């Protein structure tokens, strides 16, 4: 009476995996078998039995009574109840056989092989399936892992907790058994983080749980490509400590890796895992903008060079240029950047400068990165000197220009307080209204420039007869603006006007030539 059968794993048996026989009447002349009364069969897993789970058997007259059959998993095995009395069935799983009675759910329990036996896999319908109201005294599973408040059906609770009980082997039983010798393997810390090319270590502990395990060999798996790992010592006797050393290289890909440490004795094998996190090496990036610039020979331009810190990079990045074309001068300011920042690449060209690609290289220690920019140098237009007669118009053609460019010319007034003009236009002109940009020597003896609908200057700039004046015009055809600068012979450059508007009549031209 009141037999309790629970947490059993039964696989590939040739007879009945579980059988409750009928009994004989008490005190009868044929009494040989007591009647099965109030048997409790719960939390068992039966796999691939050659014969059925049988409740009620033989020609004896008293079938089992008051039985509770709950929270079991039966896979690949038939189930037969030949007539038990007052039996209770609840939350059992059977597959693929349908027992045809309440208390059974026909569904694949999704078992998977773990250490040679069939256990629940993630997503198994048996997880949380058991009726916790039955057999509350069953607080752990066949492995010694705790059952939670929503227990799983069958002998196995799906859990990552340490296994404290295991199936016995031939080394555990019989006259030559090792006394149930067992051990555990653990490692600390659980996780280590290093940069690619770095090294780290874990402390591995082997502890004897029972008996004398003997020599326990230690190995490791899951080591990422480009890394190596070793255990020292590689074996311990019964119990002891070892160090797992891991070394990575610059080729080890950043990521999170699980390393498994295996301990194997003559009869038992256990393992534990640790996490290795490999982060990328600190580095920097280099870029330049714009990607290309176009200038007229004799003029200059600039690029912005940007250095960015990657993966926590800190340090000084020295900047240099190479491939600078003939007739071009390149300078970087500043010449180095700490951690991250910008530098200005300044370009100057001579009258004979060539176009080309300039490479900017950033170097920090043994690490270097490069970027490049394109420089296009257009030849300057040189017009023949002119000495025009009073009231005469002279036109000198040059290659059409659009966008931004710089025009320079020299002019020498023959008399003071004369009225003379020099300008740029779209095609040949015979009237002032045809000029987009105009510089004039006025009858008042000053230098001015056209700003939209009037002549003006940023300040009063007098001129003298017979003195050569060098003019520089920074022109933006797209914006229809220009800035004018003049340098008297032997003097310093003076601003005539900044961002003056093209002459009103010419504020829609798209090129000057």
Mean pLDDT along residues 306-332: 95
Tokens of 292: 């290309």
Gap between the Cα atoms of 142 and 140, Å rounded: 7
Q: Which two tokens stand for residue 256?
A: 């999170």
The answer, yes or no, to whether residue 175 has pLDDT greater than 70, is: no
Q: Cite the beta strand spans of 121-223 per DSSP E.
A: 182-188, 191-195, 199-210, 215-221
What's the pLDDT at 176?
44
What average pLDDT does this structure show over 383-410?
74
Neighbours of 485 (CB within 10 A): 17
CA proximity to 138, closest of 127, 128, 123, 149: 149
Distance between CA atoms of residues 501 and 499, nearest Å: 6
> What is the average per-residue pLDDT within 244-264?
95
pLDDT at 233: 97
Least confident stretch, 23-32, 183-192, 213-222 = 23-32
Percent of the residues in the chain that have a pLDDT greater than 90, as a whole number: 72
Instruction: Evaluate whether 373 touches 292 at the Cβ level (below 8 Å).
Output: yes
Using CA atoms, how far apart are residues 166 and 291, in angstroms rounded to an integer? 68
Tokens 């773990």 correspond to what residue?
A: 114
Q: What is the pLDDT of residue 132?
A: 93
Quick check: 42 pLDDT over 50? yes
Find the mean pLDDT for residues 355-359.
96
Q: Diameter of the chain by CA atoms?
A: 156
Go through the domains of the chain in sequence order and give each one's CATH number.
4-120 (no CATH), 182-279 (2.60.40.10), 283-378 (2.60.40.10), 404-506 (no CATH)
Alpha carbon 42 to its chain's center: 48
Q: Per residue in 430-455, pLDDT tens?
A: 888 899 999 999 999 999 999 999 99
For the residues 281-296, what does the mean pLDDT come to? Answer: 92
- Kindly report which listed range (56-60, 409-413, 502-506) carries the lowest average pLDDT score: 56-60
Has residue 174 got a pLDDT over 60?
A: no
181 pLDDT tier (thresholds 50, 70, 90): confident
| DSSP 8-state secondary structure symbol assigned to residue 391 | T
pLDDT-derived band at 273 (thresholds 50, 70, 90) equals very high
Average pLDDT in the 195-220 region? Answer: 93
Confidence of residue 78 (pLDDT cuts 50, 70, 90): very high
DSSP character at residue 35: P
Per mean pLDDT, which range of 10-14, 57-61, 70-74 is the poorest? 57-61
Of 26-30, 94-98, 462-466, 469-473, give the lowest mean pLDDT range: 26-30
Taking the C-alpha atoms of residue 485 and residue 299, their distance in angstroms, rounded to an integer, is 14
Q: CA angle, corner 151, sides to 149 and 155, nearest 5? A: 150
Who wins on pLDDT, 171 or 31? 31
CA angle 392, 397, 401 (to 5 degrees): 130
Q: Look at residue 351 and tell me whether its pLDDT is greater than 90.
A: no
Summary mean pLDDT of the chain: 90
Distance of CA 53 to the CA centre of its chain: 54
Residue 115: pLDDT above 90? no
Q: State the pLDDT at residue 379.
A: 78
Residue 477 and residue 403 in contact, taking contact as beta carbons nearer than 8 Å: yes
For residues 315 and 327, give the distance between their C-alpha atoms in angstroms, rounded to a whole number: 34
Residue 276 has pLDDT above 90, yes or no: yes
DSSP single-letter state for residue 444: T
Nearest to 71 by CA among 112, 121, 132: 132
Distance, CA of 308 to CA of 289 (rounded, Å): 14
Pairwise CA distance, residues 183 & 171, whole Å? 14
Predicted confidence band of residue 416 (pLDDT cuts 50, 70, 90): confident
Closest CA to 263 of 210, 200, 214, 201: 214
Residue 173 near residue 90 (C-beta atoms within 8 A): no
- Residue 173 vs residue 449, higher pLDDT: 449
SS3 state of residue 432: helix
Q: What is the mean pLDDT of residues 387-409?
A: 76
Asked if pLDDT for residue 179 goes beyond 60, the answer is no
DSSP letter at 446 equals: B
Question: Strands, DSSP E only, in 82-213?
Answer: 88-90, 92-95, 104-106, 111-114, 117-120, 182-188, 191-195, 199-210
In this predicted structure, what is the pLDDT of residue 57? 80
* Of the candidate ranges 63-77, 94-108, 179-193, the one whose mean pLDDT is the lowest: 179-193
């Amino acid at each position: 009476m009141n037999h309790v059968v629970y947490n059993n794993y039964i696989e590939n048996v040739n007879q009945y995996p579980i059988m409750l026989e009928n009994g004989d009447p008490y005190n009868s002349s044929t009494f040989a078998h007591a009647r099965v009364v109030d048997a409790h069969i719960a939390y068992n897993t039966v796999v691939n039995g050659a014969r059925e789970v049988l409740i009620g058997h033989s020609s004896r007259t008293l079938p089992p009574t008051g039985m509770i059959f709950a929270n079991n998993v039966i896979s690949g095995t038939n189930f037969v109840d030949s007539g038990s009395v007052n039996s209770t069935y609840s939350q059992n799983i059977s597959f693929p056989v349908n027992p045809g009675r309440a208390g059974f759910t026909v569904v694949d329990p999704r078992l998977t092989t773990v250490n040679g036996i069939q256990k629940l896999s993630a997503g198994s319908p048996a997880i949380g399936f058991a009726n916790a109201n039955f057999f509350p005294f069953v607080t752990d599973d066949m492995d010694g892992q705790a059952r939670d408040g929503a227990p799983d059906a069958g002998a196995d609770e799906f859990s990552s907790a340490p296994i404290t009980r295991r199936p016995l082997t031939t080394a555990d039983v019989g006259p030559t058994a090792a006394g149930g010798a067992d051990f555990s393997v653990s490692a600390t810390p659980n996780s280590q983080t290093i940069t690619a090319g770095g090294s780290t270590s874990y402390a591995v502990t082997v502890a004897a749980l029972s008996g004398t395990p003997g020599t326990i060999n230690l190995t490791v798996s899951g080591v990422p490509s480009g890394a190596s790992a070793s255990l020292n010592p590689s074996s311990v006797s019964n119990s002891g400590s070892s160090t797992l050393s891991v070394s990575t290289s610059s080729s080890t890909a950043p990521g999170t890796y699980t390393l498994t440490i295996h301990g194997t004795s003559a009869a038992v094998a256990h393992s534990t895992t640790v996490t290795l996190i490999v982060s990328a090496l600190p580095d920097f990036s280099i870029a330049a903008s714009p990607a290309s610039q176009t200038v007229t020979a004799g003029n200059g331009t600039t690029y912005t060079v940007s250095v960015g810190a990657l993966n926590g990079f800190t340090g000084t990045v020295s900047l240099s240029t190479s491939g600078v074309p003939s007739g071009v001068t390149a300078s970087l300011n500043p010449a180095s950047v700490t951690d991250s920042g910008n530098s200005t690449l300044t370009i100057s060209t001579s009258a004979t400068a060539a176009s080309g690609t300039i490479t900017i290289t950033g170097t920090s220690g043994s690490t270097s990165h490069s970027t490049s920019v394109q420089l296009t140098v257009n030849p300057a237009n040189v017009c023949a000197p002119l000495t025009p007669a009073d009231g005469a118009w002279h036109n000198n053609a040059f290659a059409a220009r659009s966008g931004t460019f710089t025009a320079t010319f020299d002019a020498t007034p023959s008399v003071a307080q004369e009225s003379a003009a020099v300008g740029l236009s779209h095609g040949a002109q015979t009237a002032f209204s045809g000029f987009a940009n105009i510089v004039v020597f006025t009858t008042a003896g000053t230098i001015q420039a056209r700003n939209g609908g009037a002549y003006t200057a940023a300040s009063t700039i007098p001129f003298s007869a017979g003195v050569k004046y060098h003019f520089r015009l920074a022109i933006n055809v797209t914006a229809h603006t220009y800035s004018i600068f003049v340098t008297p012979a032997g003097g310093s450059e003076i601003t005539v006007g900044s961002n003056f508007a093209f002459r009103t009549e010419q504020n829609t031209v798209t090129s000057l030539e």
